[in-house]
Amino acid sequence: MKTKIRKATPKDIEQMLKIIKQNSPSYPRAVAKKEIEEMFSKALHKPAYLVVEKDKEIVAFGGFIRSWIDNMIFNIFWINTNPKHKNLGFGTKLIEALIKEIKSIKEKPKAKIILISTKIPSYYEKFGFIEINDKYDGDYVLMEMKIK
């Protein structure tokens, strides 16, 4: 049972889309596919995705992107775990890896703030995120982590 975290590749897209369908069945597949494929585009500003792989199966994935408005702000998004692998620590490993990846970006300016919107703020508090808006988008809470 070997687990590794790595950058997503185009070959991972179908497994990632399956996880999205399981967790968010009403989210349009075409939109999700376009969002993921943007990582592999020639766009100047594109997201990065990490996957958690266990025995050659994608069990979780998530992404991040630098803000268009402020290059020192990064947004984490699409935190998804395959339902049959929830509560096994894969989400925690993924969040830790995303934060580490953002902090390791060498290009200037360096990240100062990481943002995430979530329905489960208590989960993200253990990583150091704090609530900055409890009515951000319907029932989502906006949280931030300041990087020193």
Helix (H, G, I), strand (E, B) or coil at 82: coil
Q: What is the mean pLDDT of residues 39-53?
A: 94
- What does the pLDDT read at residue 1? 66
Reported as a single tens digit per residue, the pLDDT across 28-40 is 999 999 999 999 9
Identify the pLDDT of residue 29: 96
Alpha-carbon gap, residue 34 to 111, rounded angstroms = 26
- Residue ranges covered by each domain of the chain: 3-146
Length of the chain: 148
User: DSSP secondary-structure letter at 84?
Assistant: G
d(CA 4, CA 76): 20
pLDDT band, residue 60 (cuts 50/70/90): very high
Q: Give 135's pLDDT tier (boundaries 50, 70, 90).
A: confident
Q: Which residue has the higher pLDDT, 39 or 110?
A: 39
pLDDT, the chain, mean: 94
The C-alpha angle with vertex 42 and arms to 39 and 46, in degrees rounded to 5, equals 40
pLDDT at 45: 86
Confidence of residue 9 (pLDDT cuts 50, 70, 90): very high
**Cα angle 9, 50, 61; round to 5:** 105
Token digits of residue 77: 């998004």
Q: Quickly name the fold that domain 3-146 has.
A: Aminopeptidase (3.40.630)
Q: What is the pLDDT of residue 19?
A: 98
